[in-house]
Amino acid sequence: MLKQLEELKLNALRELEGITNAGELESWRVRYLGRKSELTRVLRSLATLPLEQRKAVGASANEVKANLEDSLEQKAQALRERQLKVSTKEEPIDVTLPGRYLPTGHLHPITHTLREICDIFGSMGFQVVEGPEVEWDYYNFEALNIPKEHPARDTMATLWADFETESGERPMLLRTHTTSVSARIIETMQPPIRIIVPGKVYRYEASDATHTPMFYQIDGLVVDKGITMANLKGTLYEFSRRFFGEDRQVRFRCDYFPFVEPGAEMAIECLVCGGKGCRLCGNTGWIEILGAGMTHPRVLERGGLDPEVYTSFAFGMGIDRLPMLRYGINDIRLFYGSDLRFLRQF
Amino acid sequence: MKVPLKWLQEYIDITLSPSELANRLTMAGTEVKGIKVIGDWESIVVGQIIAINPHPNADRLYLPTVDVGTEQLTVVCGAPNLAIGDKVAFAYVGAQLIDGHNGQVFRLKSAKIRGVVSNGMVCSEKELGISDIHEGIMVLPPDARVGMPLAEYLGDVIFDLEITPNRPDCLSIIGITREVAALTRQKLSLPEVGYNEAALSIEQHISVEIIASDLCPRYCASLVTGVRVAESPKWMQQRLLACGMRPINNIVDITNYVMLEYGQPLHAFDYDKIKGKKIIVRRAGGGEGIVSLDGVERVLSGDMLVIADEKAAVAIAGVMGGADSEVTEQTTSILLEAANFNPANIHFTGRTLNMPSEACMRFERGIRPELTLPALKRATQLLIQLAGGKAAKGVVDVYPGKLEREPVLLSTAKLERLLGVEFSLDQIIEALTSLSFECKPTSSKSEVLVTAPYWRSDIHQSVDLTEEVVRTIGYDEIPATMLSQPLPRQNPEPIISLKQEVRHSLIGYGFQEIITYSLTGMEMLNRLLPEPHPLKPMPLRLANPMTADQEYLRPNLRANLLAALSENRKHEDWTQVRKIVAGGRRFT
Q: What is the tens place of the pLDDT at every residue in B210-269?
A: 999 999 999 999 999 999 999 999 889 989 988 989 999 999 999 999 999 999 999 999
For residue B286, name the pLDDT band (cuts at 50, 70, 90): confident
B570 contacts in chain A (CB < 8 Å): none
User: B351: buried, middle or exposed (CB in 10 Å: 19+, 13-18, 0-12)?
Assistant: middle
Q: What is the pLDDT of residues B78-87, one digit of tens each?
A: 888 888 999 9
Q: For chain B, what is the domain count?
A: 5
Q: Say what the pLDDT of residue B532 is.
A: 64
A122 or B558: whose pLDDT is higher?
A122
Q: Say what the pLDDT of residue A22 is.
A: 85
Q: Is B565 inside a domain boundary?
A: yes
Whether the CB of A241 is below 8 Å from some CB of chain B: the reply is no
B510: left (phi over 0), alpha (psi -120 to 50) or beta: left
Contact B522, B532 (CB under 8 A): no
- Find residues 128-187 of chain B whose CB sits inside 8 Å of chain A: 164-167
Highest-scoring range by mean pLDDT, A341-345, B54-58, B314-318: B314-318
Query: Residue A243's domain spans which residues?
Result: 109-343
Whether the CB of A122 is below 8 Å from some CB of chain B: the reply is no
Same domain, B285 and B383: yes
Q: What is the pLDDT of residues A265-278, one digit of tens each?
A: 999 999 888 888 88
Measured in angstroms, the CA of B586 and the nearest CA of chain A are apart by 10
Query: What average pLDDT does the structure give for chain B?
Result: 92
The count of C-alpha atoms lying within 13 angstroms of the C-alpha of A199, restricted to the half-sphere facing its C-beta, is 25
Inform me whether the pLDDT recorded for A93 exceeds 80. Answer: no
Same domain, A259 and A339: yes
Same domain, A195 and A255: yes
Q: Say what the pLDDT of residue B121 is.
A: 92
- Cβ-based neighbours of B149, under 8 Å, separated by 6 or more: B41, B44, B45, B46
Chain A: residue whose CA lies nearest to B479: A230
Q: Which of A43-57, B395-409, B448-462, B488-502 has the lowest mean pLDDT?
A: A43-57
Q: What is the distance between the alpha carbons of residues A173 and A202, in angstroms, rounded to a whole number? A: 9
Q: For chain A, what is the domain count?
A: 2
Check: pTM over 0.80? Answer yes or no. yes
Same domain, A125 and A73: no
Q: Say what the pLDDT of residue B577 is.
A: 67
Q: Is A101 inside a domain boundary?
A: no
Contact A152, A259 (CB under 8 A): no
Q: What is the pLDDT of residues B491-547, one digit of tens each?
A: 899 999 999 999 999 999 889 999 999 999 988 888 887 766 677 788 899 999 999
Q: Say what the pLDDT of residue A277 is.
A: 85
Measured in angstroms, the CA of B117 and the nearest CA of chain A are apart by 44
Q: Is A245 inside a domain boundary?
A: yes
Please compute the mean of the pLDDT values over residues B116-120 and round it to a whole number.
89
Domain CATH code at residue A287: 3.30.930.10
If you write DSSP's letter for every residue of B178-209 in order, what string do you get? Answer: HHHHHHTT----PPP----EEEEEGGGT-EEE
Amino acid found at A9: K
Q: Is B338 inside a domain boundary?
A: yes
A230 contacts in chain B (CB < 8 Å): 419-421, 478-481
Q: What is the CA radius of gyration of chain A?
A: 41
Q: Which residue, A55, A90, A125, sits at the end of a domain?
A: A90
Contact B436, B468 (CB under 8 A): no
Contact A311 B585 (CB under 8 A): no
Same domain, B249 and B386: yes
Contact B471 A262 (CB under 8 A): yes
Query: Residue B524's domain spans which residues?
Result: 494-582
Q: Across the strands, what pairs with A295?
A: A260
Inform me whether the pLDDT recorded for A9 exceeds 80. Answer: yes
A222 contacts in chain B (CB < 8 Å): 483
Amino acid found at A44: R
CB atoms inside a 10 Å sphere around CB B30: 28
Q: Which of A95-104, B11-20, B400-409 has the lowest mean pLDDT?
A: A95-104
Q: What is the pLDDT of residues B142-181, one digit of tens each?
A: 888 999 998 888 889 999 999 999 999 999 999 999 999 9
Whether the CB of A112 is below 8 Å from some CB of chain B: the reply is no
Query: What average pLDDT does the structure give for chain A?
Result: 91
Same domain, A220 and A288: yes
Inform me whether the pLDDT recorded for A313 exceeds 90. Answer: yes
Q: Is A99 inside a domain boundary?
A: no
Cis peptide bond upstream of B545, omega within 30: no
Same domain, B148 and B159: no
Contact B75, B64 (CB under 8 A): yes
Please tell me which of the candidates A103, A127, A154 has its beta carbon nearest to residue B490. Answer: A127
Contact A127 B491 (CB under 8 A): yes
Q: Is A96 inside a domain boundary?
A: no
The count of C-alpha atoms lying within 13 angstroms of the C-alpha of A231, restricted to the half-sphere facing its C-beta, is 24
User: B532: buried, middle or exposed (CB in 10 Å: 19+, 13-18, 0-12)?
Assistant: exposed
Please compute the mean of the pLDDT values over residues A285-296 and round it to a whole number.
96
Q: What is the distance between the alpha carbons of residues A153 and A303, in angstroms, rounded to a whole number? A: 21
Please compute the mean of the pLDDT values over residues A214-231 and round it to a whole number.
97
Please compute the mean of the pLDDT values over residues B191-217 and round it to a whole number.
94
Same domain, A70 and A119: no
Contact B542 A226 (CB under 8 A): no
Same domain, A308 and A205: yes
DSSP structure class, residue B211: S
